[in-house]
Chains A and B, each alone.
Chain A
Amino acid sequence: MNGLRGYVLRRLGAGVLLLALASLLTFALLRVVPGDPTITKLGGARNIDPAALAELRHELGLDRSVVAQYLSWVGGLLQGDLGQSYFSQYAVTTLIGQRVVPTLELAGLAFVVGLVLAVPAALVSATRPRSIAARLVNAATAALMAAPPFLVGIAFVVVLSVQAGLLPARGYVPFVEDPLENLRLVAMPALTLGLAVAAPLVVLLRASLGETLRAPFIRTATGKGLQRRRVVLGHALPNALIPSLTYLGVTVGYLLGGVVVVEYVFGWPGLGSLVVDAVLKRDYAVLQSVVLLAVAIFVFVTFVTDLLYGVLDPRLRVGEGQP
């Protein structure tokens, strides 16, 4: 197990280094981009007194040197103080806190929906490639790969909300406040995102299933008289899932940070829109911390994915067994 511990420590060290680099890069990049939070904040005020601008700069700490600003941000980070938004005065931790639960809920459900849809679809498509069901799956996959989630989302709203009146078109209610309404509200965004996740997964899984089904051990399994079901589900699928794991890891990152469009369509208060707003307003305080959070999540998920490889495929385990 020493090897594994060493590997974990090495990976964690690399992760921390990556975060440090990301913090520097995010910070520097924001200062290079044109635009100024104080100007954006004053946007509506006419006849701006230079004193007002200077005061605001001082208040936001923007009159200090860039190095001092960076150090104070990192110093705060290490103590769990991410500063406060230049615009809303809310602590960045509060802003993230307000949005992290809806983000996790939507991402989690979308991930499950994606898996639940993709695995059977890929199985059908790979095991009976000539069946009508397989053709339907292929056509749907191609369509979903091409259609942006925005379009799919709007289509759902038009059909399920405007026409049928079954589900509310937009909004968010915390699960603890009203579980039923929460589920009704999350249904369409989760389905929209789930489909967006499922389509590429079907393609990947279908290919790797096809390959696995032609592998010698499958022939062996079939030859020793196992039922087709058991061959496919018990032997082929677990092996075919391994190459898709990387994609699933990336997907988790995407779901946690990059689902702005779906958040916009369904009025879902997630982290994605927090980032986009911060970019547009140059709310450095919010932006740099949320971007760093996203990087951290990504690093973590990749790390977990790599560990999972070892669980699913003993050949990929580190530091175990001697040749």
Chain B
Amino acid sequence: MKSSGREAGTVVLMRETRAAAAAARIAGVAALTAGCAALAVGCGGSSPTTDRGATGESQPASAGGRLVYGTASGISQLDPHTRSAAQQLVVHPLLFDGLTRAGRNGETEPGLAESWRASPDQRTWTFTLRSGVRFHDGTPFDSRAVKANLERVLDPRVPNPDRTKIEMIASIGTPSPTRLVLRLSAPNALLPDALAASSLVMVQPRTFSTAAKAAVGTGPFKLAEMVPDDHVTLVRNDDYWGEQANLDEIEIVRSPDATAAATAFRSGDLDVLWSVPPADVDGLVAATQGRALEPEDISAGVYWEVDNASPPFDDVRARQALLHAIDRETMLRVAYAGKGLVPETASMLSPRNQAFEASLAAYPFDLDRARALFAEAGVGAGETLTFLTPAGQFPEWAQMGQILQEDLKKIGITLKIQREEFSTWLEAFYPAGKRFPGTIVANYLSLPTTPMYQLSFLNEGVCECNARLPGWRELSSRAVATGDAAERDGIYAQLQEVQNRAVPVLPIAFTTLQTVVQPDVVGAWVDTQGNVDLTQAGFAR
């Protein structure tokens, strides 16, 4: 276990829900024990509220039923290729399938492609597609449909969030309806992983122009009705090519007010509630005898971004100083009720990720070091920095800012907390290339568990931090190109070394959005990014 040595020292505050074997596999028993000591509530697998094995999976679901899923933010459109909001992610696996898909641990599984193989140089990929699959409108799914979909997402004018992962596709061949040949301009051993992205799923090509509201896919559910930003109603697709869904109907409703949503969950009007304020989770679970869904690994969390291209954070010492000034442990405890993992380094990867490099130097909370490094970078006492966070949502981010504010005050630096309404906040630093000197932007990143796709956030032109890391591009392309997993792990370690020295972004807490379910809900699970998968959900018999 590559990371277990470090794990014991990491404060593991996340409640582990899997059986001991699974826990040992991903984190080490020592870490789990430490977590239980640190956080008395919710530890121990015997608690009915956390034992997913007993209530969530082994119990069979009865056929039928209508499940109501509550989300704080509304779904305004359904086109997966132009997805821009996380709340949309819950509908994608229900309505659409990709060629491949990510399993619970993030491992890549077959989807609409039954199998695939690469040429030895990783430049030609041949996919065998399932035959007999039909879109919801009855039209057949075949390699030509895949070609149309890939061409759409490869078009730079279509704002696809995952295009960079597949932009090396140079030509798309369709020798037969069930055969797809992708030729690449650069070797890519991770192509099947890339194609599992939820924004690269297959849409009936004739509906591209209306995909935002029509959503014709091949998934286990079909769209029945939608009122944008209010609700989306899905009904079971009885002609589904894969395992049939249990539920007759899923209704995704918006419950924008957290208190009202919690009350509706308590009354039983919501079966699943997503994006629950972390502090409310235990109370809701206790009140309903329900469960909190926990991911196997975490590949999402709070990251703060600074502009690496303008003062003072164009100086690496200023960024290192800032990381030393952040009391990440307290922040996770106060702002996220301890639900998550505290990063100790600057690595993008959570200590549970199999590629996490255990030998990285840590950045402990140390105000003296912070003061010294800040002084070297020319940020002396009396300086003012700005903390930018969205107003009206994510109050926990502002809390984190306040903790930093207090700590920076001790070393003579003033932190101005600026709350801006969402659109204004976003425009201040997004997209990459904007200058925001002296500003620390609070942000939340949700990234696939494949290490490369977490690290590739730091590629030039992607990260709003505007970082240019030495050797990053070469190392990244080598990691993508090699078919040798051990070699790739070695490169991941080097990439993390580079990142840990340069601190282009500041990982604050690895944590997913929280989900609670009623006691009779079975088969629902969350992925490493905290998104809920309802494809096999149902109600206990």
**A residues near B, CB below 8 A?**
34-36, 39-49, 51-53, 55-56, 85, 87-90, 95, 98-99, 150, 153-154, 157-158, 161-162, 165, 168-171, 261, 264-267, 269, 273-274, 277, 280-282
Contacts and interface: CB of A to CB of B under 8 A. Distances in A.
B319 to A, nearest CB: 21
Contacts of A171: 253, 269
Given A36-B427, A161-B267, A41 B159 contact: yes
A162 B268 CA distance: 8
Nearest to B228: A88
B310 to A, nearest CB: 20
B264 interface: yes
A317 to B, nearest CB: 45
Contacts of A51: 156-157
Given A34-B424, A44-B86, A161-B269, A264 B260 contact: yes
Nearest to A163: B267
A40 B158 CA distance: 15
Contact of A39 (B157, B421, B423, B462): B423
In order of increasing CB-CB distance, the 9 nearest A-B pairs are A35-B423, A88-B228, A161-B267, A49-B156, A55-B157, A169-B264, A89-B212, A269-B230, A265-B260
B393 to A, nearest CB: 9
28 contacts: A39-B423, A39-B427, A42-B159, A43-B84, A43-B85, A44-B86, A46-B164, A46-B432, A47-B459, A47-B461, A48-B432, A49-B156, A49-B159, A52-B156, A56-B159, A85-B76, A87-B76, A87-B228, A89-B212, A99-B230, A161-B264, A165-B268, A264-B255, A267-B260, A267-B264, A274-B229, A281-B76, A282-B423
Nearest to B211: A89
Interface majority SS on B: helix, strand, loop or mixed?
A: loop
Nearest to A270: B230
Contacts of B257: 150, 261, 264-265
Interface of B: 74, 76-77, 82-86, 156-161, 163-164, 210, 212-213, 227-231, 253-257, 259-260, 263-264, 266-270, 421-424, 426-427, 430-432, 457, 459, 461-463
Contacts of A42: 84, 159, 431
Given A35-B423, A43-B85, A280-B421, A157 B267 contact: yes
Contacts of B254: 267
A277 B423 contact: no
Given A43-B430, A89-B210, A280-B422, A157 B156 contact: no
B427 A35 contact: yes
Contact of B266 (A48, A162, A265): A162
A163 to B, nearest CB: 9
A85 B159 contact: no
A85 B230 CA distance: 14
A99 B229 CA distance: 11
A45 B268 CA distance: 36
Contacts of A95: 228
Contacts of A282: 423
A267 B77 contact: no
A170 B253 contact: yes
A52 B158 contact: yes
A161 B210 CA distance: 39
Contacts of A264: 255-257, 260
Contacts of B212: 87-89
A47 B432 contact: yes
A153 B261 CA distance: 12
A61 B306 CA distance: 33
A99 B227 contact: yes
Contacts of B74: 277
A145 B407 CA distance: 42
Contacts of B77: 87-89
B388 to A, nearest CB: 13
Contacts of B268: 165
Nearest to B167: A47
B199 to A, nearest CB: 8
Contacts of A168: 267, 269
Give the interface centre of B84, B163, B210 by most chain A CB atoms within 10 Å: B84
B202 to A, nearest CB: 19
Contacts of A45: 82, 84, 159-161
B256 A273 contact: yes
Given A153-B260, A157-B263, A170-B260, A277 B84 contact: no
A46 B256 CA distance: 26
B441 to A, nearest CB: 14
Nearest to A268: B230
A44 B83 contact: yes
Give the interface centre of A42, A88, A281 by most chain B CB atoms within 10 Å: A88
